Amino acid sequence: MIDALPSWARAWRGIGAADDGAAVRDSLLAAYAEPHRRYHTLQHLRECLGLLAETADAAARPCEVAIALWFHDAIYDVRRSDNEERSADWASAAVAAAGAVPAVVERIRSLVLATKHSMAPGSDDERLLVDIDLAVLGAPAPRFAEYERQIRAEYAWVPQPLFDEKRGAILRSFLDRERIFATPLFHSRFEAAARANLTRAIGG
């Protein structure tokens, strides 16, 4: 796990922003600290940024991947299904206002939208970012168990039988994939553990 603040400064400069982005950064930190969050928090953000720091050589544009990670769960409302779109809108507006060129704005937007996990990522950087976001599935068993408790807490308002049904379907959808992790690096590091965690979680 790394200190998020230096990561922000390097990445924000790296996308060609004309300012230091401190106000945007502070708004993002406040968003990840919202009281209704249990998993989609600064812990998750720091875990993601830590993995990127370890694997940045695999990214074509690591600063864009970093900024997309900062924004990927910027808006998180468990009662809505458009969180990624709204987070992508925020990212696009913020980086455009800071002076990033349109191609950078569009790539960052696409990176954030890739975390919907509804279709195959379209670029190498999208594949890396999605694998980073999903890495918790292949975490050591205690961290995976904590993650499952955190997700349940975020959806505490959902009755247990309905939660079990919906959550089980989501976890099975990952197991049904030929590969959970698209990049060779994450596949070799996390695939086997993720399949064991998911199988255990659904009682398989």
What residues does each domain of the chain span? 4-201
Residue-wise DSSP of 112-160: HHHTT-SS--SSHHHHHHHHHHHGGGGS-HHHHHHHHHHHHHHTTTS-H
CATH number of 4-201: 1.10.3210
The CB density around residue 121, as the number of other CB atoms within 10 Å, is 20
Give residue 5's pLDDT. 62
Handedness of CA 91, 96, 101, 103 (dihedral sign): positive
Instruction: Give residue 119's pLDDT.
Output: 80
What torsion do the CA atoms of 139, 73, 50, 102 make, to the nearest 10 degrees?
140
Residue type, 75: I
The confidence score (pLDDT) of residue 2 equals: 47
Q: Which tokens is 120 given?
A: 């195959």
Q: Residue 4: what pLDDT? A: 59
Each of the 204 residues of the chain gets a pLDDT tens digit; together they read 446 566 899 999 999 999 999 999 999 999 999 999 999 999 999 999 999 999 999 999 999 999 999 999 999 999 999 999 999 999 999 999 999 999 999 999 999 999 998 888 889 999 999 999 999 999 999 999 999 999 999 999 999 999 999 999 999 999 999 999 999 999 999 999 999 999 999 985
**Torsion angle (degrees, nearest 10) of CA 159, 163, 164, 165:** 110
d(CA 136, CA 197): 10
Evaluate whether 177 touches 131 at the Cβ level (below 8 Å).
no
Q: In this predicted structure, what is the pLDDT of residue 8?
A: 93
Whether the pTM exceeds 0.85: the reply is yes
